[in-house]
A and B are shown apart, each in its own frame.
Chain A
């Protein structure tokens, strides 16, 4: 897209698809498939942040899990440093897993309640590296300092921490194997606003210090606007708009993106928003029985005949902006 992306990106996802079998028509009925992620492609440059935004059911989390091989992809490639991560096995996979780590949403369920904080951070070191005990302890000490926790807190159990502190432990765990890519799955949406700011600042500081790349999954457009360089908007398993930060937020093209942006209540655009608000009514289509045309057509204020017949492809608008809509010139 922009020139930073043109020479070898860290992560290149091509035609990724994930489908789940759904039982239909009772016990003897045939299987139907829910295409949770349907043929999406994107790139992430080293040291940058790419956001996938969308509402529940858009497939954004499934896409992230598929990139990290925590959900099996049905087709597509996930290239990390030029190697197809989905095709690796055994030792190669073990090394590669250390390069992709996750930060999860719920600070209350993402830490094993039976492990002490230091054991939580140690887990990836034990499984993915062959370091000595002393080296592991040194890494743990250094990570606790990096995420702003005290050394004596290493001995505590997760329930003795607050939500924000737990999320810091989760971040330390993600950093343990010195990954290049961190997938943040709604990493701050379960936190109180004041704590959320602490964690977001921490994530940005760590990115600068360590040259990390983030794949940032979120439904909160304010957070995305603050954190990300490139944004992919997903709807019903598809990317409908893909653009860099400024062009997406300053001139959104897809009617769904526009509706999404205008729906966010904000103190900064008071007065403006209500006049411009674009309500979208209706319900999304049944994800197992998708309509022939554009998946957004049933709720779209601009939908025309062509939208109901032909599915729009992601078209290039400029080198920093792609959109999948028949109604955009």
Chain B
């Protein structure tokens, strides 16, 4: 069975004042039907850019795909027309964003905003769309959906707005849901509810989910496979358990160990956190033929500065792009 979404050797360039830089550099990955894959990395590593590339929403005039393909059900989205992309967006691939406060239009009721999508893509009439909107609000567990369908966004809490966003995203039963840091702005107890909801709905609608996050804990709880990005490149990918328990790339290892995780059984010991020194390189350095992590890596040697490591596949599709895989862990 061929995967639902297959990205091959994707390169996205962004034009800056000093020329263009590859914000996504030779990225390949595939997403199967019904699967949840997580993209992990720090800010500015190209996670969100990948999502925008899939949706054909790269910043106009600045970003463009220069190589590779994004195949959705066999159709190459990098070559699709604008009209075709509009058909796909919100219908077959939809997205929810980080900020539930600003991603809803304040002057329309939530019911109208859900109905809007349905009428656009599903040719429903007003009454059908409205009753479907109520069903969807019920599905995302907003209590008393019938009573709240005419509420405006400001009448809802942050968590409820994010549920409405999910309802809008799922209105047309998309094949793929891209969630870009969907819970970063929410409290942990609300985050837990939203995650549970996404898991259940993913199962119910058989939607594949791409979860973009910086939180390893969220990855561990939500995803089956993960992909770690650094400076526009895939540095490690594989099944979540395997990657978290035995990371092959020093960056992945650093990301896991630099966070103070809640321990199941707490002791008096508190060793300093493992640090990743420095910061993500600037765009000007993207695209160089070297390991871009070398400047922050404890294992780096001359080879890392001279040649870019390519992903090396291992067991269960667990791959890592590092010259010193055997020294990690």
Contacts and interface: CB of A to CB of B under 8 A. Distances in A.
Q: Do A's and B's CB atoms come within 8 Å in the complex?
A: yes
Interface of A: 55-56, 162, 164, 192-198, 200-201, 204, 219, 221-223, 225-227, 245-246, 249-250, 259-270, 272-274, 277, 279-281, 283
Contact of A193 (B42, B193, B195, B221): B42
What is the interface residue range for chain B against chain A?
A: 35 or more
Contact of B266 (A195, A245, A260, A274): A245
Nearest to A281: B193
Given A55-B188, A260-B188, A267 B260 contact: no
A268 B275 CA distance: 18
Given A194-B254, A267-B261, A270-B221, A201 B188 contact: no
B244 interface: yes
A259 B189 contact: yes
B189 A225 contact: no
A255 to B, nearest CB: 12
A225 B263 contact: yes
Contacts of A262: 192
A280 B264 contact: no
B191 A196 contact: no
Given A56-B187, A200-B273, A270-B221, A225 B279 contact: no
The 3 closest A-B pairs by CB, nearest first: A226-B260, A265-B217, A197-B258
Nearest to A57: B187
B193 A279 contact: yes
Contacts of A195: 42, 279
Given A265-B220, A268-B262, A201 B275 contact: yes
8 contacts: A192-B42, A246-B267, A249-B263, A260-B188, A262-B192, A265-B220, A265-B221, A269-B262
A198 B218 CA distance: 22
B179 interface: no
Interface of B: 42-43, 157-158, 187-193, 195-196, 214-222, 241, 244, 254-256, 258-268, 270, 272-277, 279-280
A288 to B, nearest CB: 15
B279 A280 contact: no
A192 B262 contact: no
Contacts of A219: 187-188
Contacts, number: 128
Nearest to B45: A192
B217 A263 contact: no
Contact of B272 (A204, A246, A249, A268): A204
Contacts of B279: 162, 164, 192, 194-195
Interface on chain A toward B: helix, strand, loop, or mixed SS?
helix
A217 B7 CA distance: 43
A261 B262 contact: yes
Contacts of A266: 217, 220, 261-262
A250 B262 CA distance: 11
B261 A55 contact: no
A264 B216 CA distance: 11
A226 B273 contact: yes
Nearest to A164: B279
A268 B219 CA distance: 12
Contact of A280 (B189, B217, B255, B276): B189
A266 B244 CA distance: 11
Of B218, B260, B268, most A-chain CB atoms within 10 Å: B260
Contact of B262 (A55, A227, A264, A277): A264
Given A201-B273, A226-B270, A274-B221, 12 more contacts: A55-B190, A162-B279, A204-B272, A219-B187, A226-B260, A227-B260, A250-B265, A262-B192, A269-B263, A270-B220, A270-B221, A279-B193
A277 B275 contact: no
Contacts of A200: 260, 273
A227 B262 CA distance: 12
A201 B272 contact: yes
A263 B189 contact: yes
Contact of A263 (B43, B191, B266): B191
Nearest to B160: A283
B242 to A, nearest CB: 12
Nearest to B213: A265
Contacts of B261: 222, 266-268
Nearest to B296: A194
Contacts of B260: 200, 222-223, 225-227
Nearest to A58: B187
B163 to A, nearest CB: 12
Given A194-B276, A195-B279, A197-B273, A221 B262 contact: yes
Given A194-B254, A194-B276, A268-B263, A263 B188 contact: yes
Contacts of B263: 225, 249, 268-269
Nearest to B254: A194
A225 B188 contact: no
B259 A222 contact: yes
Contacts of B275: 194, 197-198, 201
B276 A267 contact: no
B189 A197 contact: no
B204 to A, nearest CB: 18
Given A200-B273, A226-B270, A268 B255 contact: no
B274 A55 contact: no
A246 B266 contact: yes
